[in-house]
Amino acid sequence: SQTIHQWPATLVQPVGSPLSLECTVEGTSNPNLYWYRQAAGRGLQLLFYSVGIGQISSEVPQNLSASRPQDRQFILSSKKLLLSDSGFYLCAWSLKGADEQYFGPGTRLTVT
C-alpha cells in the first residue's frame, strides 16, 4: 500500500530564516506530487506541482520554491521566510492527472 510522509510535523522559525520541508511517498512509482498551503479552517491553495523528476510548475508567485530530486521526494524551500509564510503545508500525490489525491499529515509552520 502507498504511504506519504511529511516532516517536520511542526516548525517555528524566525523571519528571514531558511526553510526546508520534505515529503516522500512510498509504494508507488512516478506519482504526481503537490504542495498546498492552508489557512486556518479554510480551503487549500495549490503552490507547486510536479509530474516528474526535475519538473516543477509554480502556481503562485511567492517567497517559496520547490524541487523534486528523486521520483518520490518533493521538497519545499525558502531562502528567507516572511511572516505571511505561516500556515499549514500539505503534500499530496496522485497517479492520474489531479484525480484522487492523497495527502500527507501536514506541517504546521509558524514564522515569528
Partner 1 sequence: TQLLEQSPQFLSIQEGENLTVYCNSSSVFSSLQWYRQEPGEGPVLLVTVVTGGEVKKLKRLTFQFGDARKDSSLHITAAQPGDTGLYLCAGEREDSSYKLIFGSGTRLLVRP
Whole-number minimum distance, CB 83 to partner 1, in Å?
A: 21
| Binding residue for partner 1, selected from 64, 90, 109, 111, defined by CB under 8 A | 90
Q: Which CB sits closer to partner 1, 104 or 111?
A: 104
Whole-number minimum distance, CB 111 to partner 1, in Å?
A: 18
Count the neighbouring beta carbons within 10 Å of the beta carbon of residue 22: 15
Phi, psi of 16 (to 5 degrees): 90, -10
Q: Which CB sits closer to partner 1, 18 or 105?
A: 105
Pairing of strands 32-38, 44-52: antiparallel
| Binding residue for partner 1, selected from 54, 61, 69, 97, defined by CB under 8 A | 97
Does residue 26 touch partner 1 according to CB under 8 A?
no
What are residue 74's DSSP bridge partners? Answer: 23
What are residue 4's DSSP bridge partners? Answer: 25
Whole-number minimum distance, CB 105 to partner 1, in Å?
A: 6
Task: Write the burial class of residue 35 (CB in 10 Å: 0-12 exposed, 13-18 middle, 19+ buried).
Answer: buried
Site of interaction with partner 1 (CB under 8 A): 32, 36, 41-46, 49, 51, 57, 59, 90, 92, 97-106, 108
